[in-house]
Amino acid sequence: MELIELMQSQWTCRYYKTDPVSDDVLERVLDAARWAPQGGNRQPVRFVVVRDAEKKRQMKEWYLNPWNAYVAAARQGGIHIGSETEVKIPKMLSDADYFANHMDEVPVWLVVCAELAEIHPTDLDLGRPPVVYGASIYPAVQNVLLKARDEGLGTALTTLLCHYEPQVKAMLNIPDGIATCAVVTVGWPTKAFPKRLNRNPLSTMTFNESYGTPLYS
Ligand SMILES: Cc1cc2nc3c(=O)[nH]c(=O)nc-3n(C[C@H](O)[C@H](O)[C@H](O)COP(=O)(O)O)c2cc1C
């Protein structure tokens, strides 16, 4: 499959079979993470692979607290979700709600972590929330998502469990100095991948020389 087709069909998988993911395929998926760029080539990303049913159940319980608050606010219109062209928001929310309530049944969870001392953020003194920390982390996660798609595996990149970082760190023996950055669920999807994701047109995100000046119509 062409790289662009992988990208265009790499959706957030909400429905999974309970069939196991073999060690071999998981190793290939995780190995893709190594090739991502990170500042200074300092390689701060770590993954804790969790397959244990009780740990997943506990993490799902934690996840459901912020999720239930989020979905309630989104249904009342209090949180903006979806793109300009999105027409399926109720379906999106019900799929994500199903996922939240069954995510412990997904065979593999990747708890994505980062060694903070190995990241050199260049935007700490700007008086706004820093975003450069993530620039050394999420390219590796994207590599994992794409390689999983290439293997026919479904994934969901989630961040709500970061609210429970102290509890997750205690449960998984994650030491001080390491942040939790995401959970990626990995398993075999029950549904076919979409042909193409719903995204805004290129013209909405690209500018010519000056922010706001259209590059493409
Ligand atoms: C930074 C980030 C955080 C996300 N966190 C969650 C999450 O906590 N729970 C969830 O169900 N989906 C989460 N998602 C998935 C998005 O909801 C999803 O990518 C978006 O709705 C587009 O859907 P698609 O990937 O299927 O096209 C997250 C995605 C990103 C990039």
pLDDT, one tens digit per residue, over 77-98 is 767 777 545 556 788 899 999 9
Task: Let me know how long the chain is.
Answer: 217
| 98 C-alpha to ligand 1 centroid (Å) | 14
Q: What type of residue is 25? A: V
CATH 3.40.50.720 fits domain 3-51+107-204: no
**So where are the chain's domains?**
3-51+107-204
Sheet holding 108-115: strands in order across?
Answer: 45-50, 108-115, 178-187, 154-158
Tell me what the mean pLDDT of segment 26-47 comes to: 98
- Closest-lying ligand 1 atom to the alpha carbon of residue 138: 1
| 209 C-alpha to ligand 1 centroid (Å) | 31
Tell me what the mean pLDDT of segment 56-71 comes to: 97
Rounded-to-integer distance, Cα 30 and Cα 24, Å: 10
pLDDT digits (tens, 9 = 90+) for 156-194: 999 999 999 999 999 999 999 999 999 999 999 999 999
Residues in CB range of 115: below 8 A, 6 or more apart: 44, 46, 177, 178
Query: What pLDDT is attached to residue 98?
Result: 97
Residues in CB range of 24: below 8 A, 6 or more apart: none
Could you tell me the CA-to-CA distances from 168 to 54, 103, 213 in Å, in that order?
A: 13, 16, 45
Handedness of CA 139, 141, 144, 146 (dihedral sign): negative
